[in-house]
Structure 1
Amino acid sequence: MEPINLFVDDLRDCPVGFTLARNFEQAIEILRMNTIDILTLDHDLGEDEHGKELPNGYDLVKYFCEHGLRVNRIYLHTDNPVGRNNMYETLLAAQRRGFIASDIEIYHYPITENKYSGTSDLV
């Protein structure tokens, strides 16, 4: 199976060459069913109809680490500085403790330009 690149974001346009997951559940399914080269994460992944925050990128990072999932590179494209730092530090700590592979490259910055056209179904 050819590796894919995964872009996890509820609003931004999906960059060319990436598969899109708009929420936590979609991301987990894609991560489990595919070989991933690049994973790029947003922190804030929206709210439900009652205004309650949905599982976010930090929740996805925790799941990733708890289940020892594998990708080659992780980039954090979120504009949320606290969320970015939490995800980054959790990933590094998981590597140090052996929960995820030590050769996964983890970057505190985006690999793609953040674009938002206002069309949430744009892929």
Structure 2
Amino acid sequence: MRIYLDDERATPEGWTRAYWPDEVIELLKLGGVEEVSLDHDLGEDERGTGYDVVLWVEEAVALHGFVPPRMRVHSANSSAREKMEAGIRAIERLREQRQPSR
């Protein structure tokens, strides 16, 4: 499954639409997610932002050995995009540290 988190843009073909971070997190918990594409600003800040998904994945990888899907950001908010991409890089570093040595 490929998840597309956004409140306005059209969902690309082959992606599952989510409007809120908690929807994405529930799908991640179920497993089978191959890729996530995240927008930051979702219209109602009290319901969260795409960055909340990044934070959840980072914690799940660090504390529970969660295997993250491919992650990318499609937000037009440039400062939020940078923050989210930094979080994704941190997740990738954590994942590499948890992989067994060969």
TM-score normalised by L of structure 2: 0.80
Alpha-carbon shift at residue 53 of structure 1 (Å) = 4.0
Within a 5 Å distance, the mapping from 1:95-110 to structure 2 comes to 95-96=92-93, 98=94, 101-102=95-96
Contact 1:42 1:76 in 2 (8 A): yes
Within a 5 Å distance, the mapping from 1:1-123 to structure 2 comes to 4-47=1-44, 52-68=45-61, 69-96=66-93, 98=94, 101-102=95-96
More helix by share: 2
Tell me the number of residue pairs that the alignment of Structure 1 and Structure 2 aligns: 93
Q: Which has the higher contact order (CA 8 A, sep 6+)?
A: 1
Cα RMSD, aligned residues only = 1.8
* Structure 2 gaps, min length 5: 97-102
TM-score normalised by L of structure 1: 0.67
* Structure 1 gaps, min length 5: 103-123
**What fraction of aligned residue pairs are identical, expressed as a percent?**
33
